[in-house]
């Protein structure tokens, strides 16, 4: 099938490369000249494991090309997939300007029958809205049919997720459109779900908001485990063995970040508000996430006292491992809180140093290695579970650098190993002193 993909961000580029690799002929179009030039040269402009090799292979096989010209991309396309960004607008709802521009271009340019697929995450009703814009601009008497086909890719494993997704959701009005899109994805052997367009749009938000809810829930359980002397990993394992709950997304830590969960939770609340409905659970999910991002700072204050002048290393700055993405990373809120308390903050990340420079305040000293960052610190905060930090040699590095206190926001370090090395370890959600709990209950006249 001949495809045009509009937008070469995470979603558009990964989708384009993967669809080319299953035999389709793909032209990716983007307004960013520099990015397109890089892609034409076989370079991926962001860090995504496995994408470079696959892209070069597909360009070489002449199934994948890049352009800045919409007309050229749309010229022979049977399907146009739109994957441009929908960043959070000032009202909390996604900013649809880029999408509207693409819809106008499609209306003006397309001179043959085509299916337009919206893959960008958009509020419920956006397909309908965009189809009106296309119709207003339409110059040629051709059939332009719309479909919603949300993506569920995770950064860092986006290529794997494209080939091993749990479902492909196709929201379309007519059977013909749905069948064409099913044929497009059939080689992936992933189950299809056909829905109406609005339901497909909602599935994306409901899924992300539910996962965010799971994270805030387990984080609150973790906070309670600390107080009641239980261990969050055991609790999560026990919960996850119940298939109705499921074991995934029950890792407690310093809250969720990234380009999707925070934005999509806000957008769903915004959609609710516009429908005169208050999404109460999501209000709490957001509140808990904000609070959770500061858990390590609270723990550090409790343990080290006034943080003024104390030197603290932040290890891992991206919002999660295997990505250089700093958007809504917990490290930003943590760095900010530490600076406000007068701490001296140093940071290191194995991959996202360039982005870190743009996202973090200038007062934060960025280092080239973990070793350099740990030099003379009063405490280290582990914020992203990069493999470099989870390997046993990392504990030895902490010892060599004379780090005496570690606050682990991802519970990824080996507690017994650190204890053996004489390093004080503060994870999340592991109650240490059950005696204190008993006393506290008894003081309130209750048996625990
Ligand atoms: C997410 C969705 O998973 C994906 O389906 C959607 O298309 C885009 O948003 P992504 O943002 O790339 O993907 O990352 P994900 O791996 O889902 O993690 C999101 C955040 O949740 C990260 O900050 C991560 O650290 C946090 N998280 C995840 C937890 O704190 N605990 C968990 O158990 C899982």
Alpha carbon distance 5, 143 (integer Å):
19
Is 260 annotated in the active site? yes
Residues 300-339: tens digit of each pLDDT: 999 999 999 999 999 999 999 999 999 999 999 999 999 9
Residue 435: predicted pLDDT: 61
* Domain span holding position 316: 294-428
Residues 193-231: tens digit of each pLDDT: 999 999 999 999 999 999 999 999 999 999 999 999 999
Does 35 score more than 70 pLDDT?
yes
Average of per-residue pLDDT across 26-39: 97
Q: Which atom of ligand 1 is nearest to the CA of 385?
A: 25
DSSP string computed for 43-96: --SS--TTHHHHHHHHHHTTSEEEES-HHHHHTT-SEEEE-----B-TTSSBP-
Q: Which atom of ligand 1 is nearest to the CA of 255?
A: 30
Q: For 243-270, b where at least 16 C-beta lie within 10 A, e where not — what string?
A: eeeeeebbbbbbbbbbbbbbbbbbbbbb
Task: Assess whether 188 and 201 both reside in one domain.
Answer: no
Instruction: Pick the residue whose CA is nearest to atom 20 on ligand 1.
Output: 256
Task: Assess whether 12 and 156 both reside in one domain.
Answer: yes
Sign of CA dihedral 182, 185, 190, 193: negative
Give φ, ψ of 268 to 5 degrees. -65, -40
Task: Assess whether 282 and 310 both reside in one domain.
Answer: no
Does 28 score more than 80 pLDDT?
yes
Instruction: Tell how far the Cα of 236 is from the centroid of ligand 1, in angstroms.
Output: 17
Task: Assess whether 160 and 21 both reside in one domain.
Answer: yes
Q: Which residues contact residue 374 at a Cβ distance below 8 angstroms, ignoring those fewer than 6 apart? A: 313, 380, 397, 398, 401, 403
Alpha carbon distance 277, 142 (integer Å):
40
Domain-embedded: residue 445: no
Last residue of one domain, picked from the residues 143, 174, 195? 195
Task: Assess whether 66 and 158 both reside in one domain.
Answer: yes
Does 447 score more than 90 pLDDT?
no
ipTM score of complex: 0.98
Domain-embedded: residue 441: no
Active-site residue, selected from the candidate residues 28, 260, 367, 412: 260
Residues 261-311: tens digit of each pLDDT: 999 999 999 999 999 999 999 999 999 999 999 999 999 999 999 999 999
Sign of CA dihedral 253, 317, 412, 419: negative
Instruction: Tell how far the Cα of 154 is from the centroid of ligand 1, in angstroms.
Output: 7
Last residue of one domain, picked from the residues 195, 216, 249? 195
Alpha carbon distance 95, 270 (integer Å):
12
Instruction: Tell how far the Cα of 219 is from the centroid of ligand 1, in angstroms.
Output: 14
Residue 433: predicted pLDDT: 58
CATH number of the structural domain spanning residue 368: 3.40.50.720
Task: Assess whether 12 and 131 both reside in one domain.
Answer: yes
Does 448 score more than 80 pLDDT?
no
Would the pTM of this model clear 0.80, i.e. be above it? yes
Task: Assess whether 306 and 377 both reside in one domain.
Answer: yes
Residues with CB under 6 A from ligand 1: 151-155, 208, 211, 215, 249-251, 253, 256-258, 260-261, 319-320
Task: Assess whether 161 and 184 both reside in one domain.
Answer: yes
Q: Which atom of ligand 1 is nearest to the CA of 11?
A: 7
Sign of CA dihedral 172, 175, 180, 182: positive
Residues 387-435: tens digit of each pLDDT: 999 999 999 999 999 999 999 999 999 999 999 999 999 999 998 655 6
Instruction: Tell how far the Cα of 147 is from the centroid of ligand 1, in angstroms.
Output: 26
Alpha carbon distance 45, 85 (integer Å):
15
Residues 105-155: tens digit of each pLDDT: 999 999 999 999 999 999 999 999 999 999 999 999 999 999 999 999 999
Task: Assess whether 148 and 21 both reside in one domain.
Answer: yes
Alpha carbon distance 62, 2 (integer Å):
13
Q: Which atom of ligand 1 is nearest to the CA of 323?
A: 12
Instruction: Pick the residue whose CA is nearest to atom 22 on ligand 1.
Output: 256
Last residue of one domain, picked from the residues 195, 227, 248? 195
Q: Residue 169: beta bridge partners?
A: 193
Residues 180-202: tens digit of each pLDDT: 999 999 999 999 999 999 999 99
Nearest to 29 by CA among 121, 109, 124: 109
Question: From start to end of 285-393, where are the E strands?
Answer: 311-315, 344-348, 365-366, 379-382
Task: Assess whether 207 and 186 both reside in one domain.
Answer: no
């Amino acid at each position: 099938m001949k495809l045009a993909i509009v937008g070469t961000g995470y979603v558009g580029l990964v989708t384009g490369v993967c669809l080319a690799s299953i035999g389709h002929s793909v032209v990716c179009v983007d307004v960013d000249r520099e990015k397109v030039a890089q892609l034409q040269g076989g370079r991926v402009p962001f860090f995504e494991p496995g994408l470079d090799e696959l892209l070069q292979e597909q360009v070489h096989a002449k199934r994948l090309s890049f352009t800045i010209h919409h007309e050229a991309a749309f010229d022979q396309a049977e399907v146009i997939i739109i994957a441009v960004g929908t960043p959070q607008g000032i009202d909390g709802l996604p900013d649809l300007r880029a999408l509207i521009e693409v819809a106008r271009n499609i209306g003006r340019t397309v001179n043959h029958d085509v299916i337009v697929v919206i893959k960008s995450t958009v509020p419920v009703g956006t397909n309908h809205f965009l189809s009106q814009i296309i119709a207003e601009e339409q110059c040629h008497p051709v059939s332009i049919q719309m479909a919603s086909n949300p993506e569920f890719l995770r950064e860092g494993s986006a290529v794997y997720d494209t080939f091993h997704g749990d479902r492909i959701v196709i929201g379309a009005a007519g059977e013909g459109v749905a069948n064409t899109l099913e044929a497009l994805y059939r080689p992936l052997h992933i189950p299809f779900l056909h829905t109406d367009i609005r339901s497909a749009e909602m599935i994306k938000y409901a899924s992300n908001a539910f996962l965010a809810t799971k994270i805030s829930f387990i984080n609150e359980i973790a906070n309670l485990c600390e107080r009641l002397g239980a261990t969050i990993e055991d609790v999560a394992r026990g919960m996850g063995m119940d298939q109705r709950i499921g074991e995934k997304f029950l890792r407690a830590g310093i809250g969720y970040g990234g380009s999707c969960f925070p934005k999509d939770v806000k957008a769903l609340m915004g959609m609710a508000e516009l429908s005169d409905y208050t999404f109460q659970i999501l209000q709490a999910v957001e509140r808990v996430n904000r609070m959770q991002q500061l858990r390590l700072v609270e723990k550090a204050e409790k343990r080290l006292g006034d943080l003024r002048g104390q030197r603290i290393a932040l290890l891992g700055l991206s919002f999660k491992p295997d990505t250089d993405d700093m958007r809504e990373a917990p490290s930003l809120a943590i760095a900010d809180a530490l600076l406000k308390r007068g701490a001296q903050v140093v940071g290191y990340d194995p991959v996202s140093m360039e982005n870190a420079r743009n996202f973090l305040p200038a007062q934060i000293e960025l280092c080239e290695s973990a070793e350099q960052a740990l030099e003379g610190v009063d405490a280290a905060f582990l914020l992203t579970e990069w493999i470099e930090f989870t390997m046993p040699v990392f504990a030895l590095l902490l010892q060599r650098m004379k780090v005496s206190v570690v606050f682990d926001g991802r519970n990824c370090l080996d507690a017994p190993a650190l204890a053996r090395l004489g390093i004080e370890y503060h994870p999340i959600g592991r109650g240490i002193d059950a005696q204190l709990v008993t006393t506290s209950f008894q003081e309130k006249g209750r048996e625990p």
